[in-house]
Amino acid sequence: MATSSPHLSEDLFSDASQHWDLDRLCADLATIKQRPLTVTERACLRGLLCSINPNDIAAALHRQPQGLRVDLTRGLYRYVEGVSCGAKPKNWREVPILLSQNGYRKQTRPVALPLPSDRPIPQSPISMHHDWGNAPDVSIFFGRSHELKQLQQWIVKDQCQIVAIWGMQGMGKTRLSVKLAMGNIGKTELSLQVAQGVQEQFEFVIWRSLYNAPSLKDLLIGWLKGLSGQQEFTAPKDIKTAIHQLISYLKSHRCLLILDNVERILQPESATGQYLAGYEEYGQLFQQIGTIPHQSCLLLTSRETLHEVVQLENKTSVRSLALQGLDIEAGKQIFAEIGNFSATESEWQQIVELYNGNPLALELIAKHIEYVFDGNITDFLQEGTPLFLDRMLLF
Ligand SMILES: Nc1ncnc2c1ncn2[C@@H]1O[C@H](COP(=O)(O)OP(=O)(O)OP(=O)(O)O)[C@@H](O)[C@H]1O
Ligand SMILES: [Mg+2]
């Protein structure tokens, strides 16, 4: 890791000290390293503990992102592995998870959660309640400041119980929901609260995808296990009891449940949002989360709209956002991530609009233009046979 720069102070990412036993952690990491951590390493560590991605840490330290990532891999990640019984962080997001599992997070959990039956629950050995499962990396993320503000308003200020993001394939629903919840907006002009991510407002955050169409029973058991922190978990006897227990948690604790790919339990292209056979009970879950008063939020993404959400919208604390494409500037940034492209301003506008600002389509077409037209957007547009969106997105 590079030597510390003179302007660096211990104030950078100082929030980490509120939740982490930094002195003990730095001492243990120094033992693994066999030398004290540098000021830069300590700043990176604090940043990672605040769930700030390496690109934003690099910006704050005036470092090149690539160089900082290499330093992290060669240095801090190895020391973290050393204090985590050999468990290696696969990416930056795993650093706080591993350190939490190894007891470096301060014990802030107030009390054990009462089950609806008032049965006492043993304390979880993991005091961090944010479970991001297989959520994708969102360190590369452009635009969407209006959408982030709107969603933040619904979730944090209005305390909506269900917030849905609808949109066609590749429109960026998943990335937007993760970015919203995780934060680290970096250089945009959003409020500090958005920059921290709405996760800071919640005691529990659990991210799950319905991509493999799990049964409602399996989903509920997973949620209840996560919310109860129980090592030995007794599954509720039926779906009704499980939903009842879940709602009890949503009432007694502020939880953010994120459910991705909800369209996977719906009949394909069903205009009325009908469930696949065997998945109809999901409707009861959404209906109850939307109507029974509680202090939590279910944030969901789907290609198709959900009947229950549409019906409850605006009458209750249920809201939805129909996600549109990226603006021209964000579209240009997607191209810039892929290579060097040349185009006039009006051609940039033309190409982003041609693909409705769909980020996945823009990524695919940028790769095509780079490969076939050597990055010349003018030539691609003049060719007169643009690839059509529906043919590109065939999965
Ligand atoms: N704001 C963004 N900035 C940069 N890239 C983005 C952004 N949003 C989405 N992308 C890119 O577009 C692709 C599709 O995004 P995402 O998976 O979030 O779409 P989706 O709407 O959830 O699609 P699906 O309906 O298939 O689940 C991803 O590869 C991601 O890299
Ligand atoms: Mg998605």
Clarify whether residues 183 and 258 are in a common domain: yes
Bridge partner list, 181: none
Instruction: Round to whole Å and give the CA distance between 105 and 19.
Output: 6
Instruction: Round to whole Å and give the CA distance between 297 and 206.
Output: 11
Question: Which ligand 1 atom lies nearest to the CA of residue 178?
Answer: 18
Split into its structural domains, the chain has a count of: 3
Instruction: Round to whole Å and give the CA distance between 15 and 303.
Output: 37
Domain annotation covers residue 128: no
Query: In sequence order, which residues have a C-beta less than 8 Å from that of residue 67 and are 6 or more positions away?
Result: 2, 58
The beta-strand segments (E) located in the chain are 130-131, 162-166, 204-209, 255-260, 297-302, 318-322
CB-ligand 1 contact for 143 (6 Å cutoff): yes
CB-ligand 1 contact for 140 (6 Å cutoff): yes
Clarify whether residues 52 and 183 are in a common domain: no
58 near 144, Cβ under 8 Å? no
Query: In sequence order, which residues have a C-beta less than 8 Å from that of residue 70 and are 6 or more positions away?
Result: none
CB-ligand 1 contact for 322 (6 Å cutoff): no
Mutation test residue for ligand 1: of 178, 190, 208, 360, the one with most atoms within 8 Å of CB: 360
CB-ligand 1 contact for 332 (6 Å cutoff): no
Determine the distance separating the centroid of ligand 2 and the alpha carbon of 297, expressed in angstroms.
19
Clarify whether residues 365 and 311 are in a common domain: no
Clarify whether residues 305 and 225 are in a common domain: yes
Complete DSSP assignment for 299-360: EEEESS--HHHHHHTTTSSEEEEE-----HHHHHHHHHHH---B--HHHHHHHHHHTTT-HH
Determine the distance separating the centroid of ligand 1 and the alpha carbon of 138, expressed in angstroms.
9
Domain annotation covers residue 147: no
Clarify whether residues 287 and 384 are in a common domain: no
Clarify whether residues 299 and 380 are in a common domain: no
Range of the domain at 228: 161-322
CB-ligand 1 contact for 264 (6 Å cutoff): no
Clarify whether residues 300 and 372 are in a common domain: no
Question: Which ligand 1 atom lies nearest to the CA of residue 358?
Answer: 12
CB-ligand 1 contact for 171 (6 Å cutoff): yes
The pLDDT of residue 3: 42
Q: Which residues of 129-154 are buried (b: 16+ CB within 10 A; e: fewer)?
A: bbbbeebeebbebbbbeebbbebbeb
Clarify whether residues 168 and 313 are in a common domain: yes
CB-ligand 1 contact for 54 (6 Å cutoff): no
Question: Which ligand 1 atom lies nearest to the CA of residue 175?
Answer: 18
Q: Which ligand is nearest to the CA of 259?
A: 2
Clarify whether residues 207 and 344 are in a common domain: no
Return the CATH number at 97.
1.10.10
Distance of CA 144 to the CA centre of its chain: 14
Domain annotation covers residue 146: no
Domain annotation covers residue 276: yes
Task: Look up residue 205 and give its DSSP letter.
Answer: E
Instruction: Round to whole Å and give the CA distance between 101 and 84.
Output: 8
Return the CATH number at 340.
1.10.8
Residue nearest to atom 29 of ligand 1 (CA): 360
Clarify whether residues 233 and 178 are in a common domain: yes
Token pair 């019984």 is at which residue?
Answer: 85
The pLDDT of residue 101: 75
Q: Which of 56, 86, 101 is the last residue before a domain boundary?
A: 101
Determine the distance separating the centroid of ligand 2 and the alpha carbon of 137, expressed in angstroms.
12
The pLDDT of residue 109: 41
Clarify whether residues 306 and 341 are in a common domain: no
Return the CATH number at 252.
3.40.50.300
Domain annotation covers residue 23: yes
Residue nearest to atom 31 of ligand 1 (CA): 360
Q: Which of 276, 297, 322 is the last residue before a domain boundary?
A: 322
Instruction: Round to whole Å and give the CA distance between 383 and 239.
Output: 57
Domain annotation covers residue 7: no
Determine the distance separating the centroid of ligand 2 and the alpha carbon of 161, expressed in angstroms.
21
Determine the distance separating the centroid of ligand 1 and the alpha carbon of 27, expressed in angstroms.
40
Determine the distance separating the centroid of ligand 2 and the alpha carbon of 299, expressed in angstroms.
13
Domain annotation covers residue 282: yes
Clarify whether residues 201 and 289 are in a common domain: yes
Domain annotation covers residue 6: no
Q: Which of 78, 101, 124 is the last residue before a domain boundary?
A: 101
Determine the distance separating the centroid of ligand 1 and the alpha carbon of 19, expressed in angstroms.
32
pLDDT (tens, 9 = 90+) of the chain, 395 residues, equals 544 444 566 778 888 888 888 988 998 898 888 888 888 899 999 988 888 888 888 888 888 888 888 888 889 998 888 888 777 887 888 888 888 877 888 765 433 333 333 333 333 333 358 888 889 988 889 999 999 999 999 999 999 999 999 999 999 999 999 999 987 644 444 444 455 678 878 889 999 999 999 999 999 999 999 998 765 678 888 999 999 999 999 999 999 999 999 999 999 877 777 899 999 999 999 999 999 999 999 999 999 999 999 999 977 799 999 999 999 999 999 999 999 998 999 999 999 999 999 999 999 999 999 988 899 999 998 886 666 655 665 44
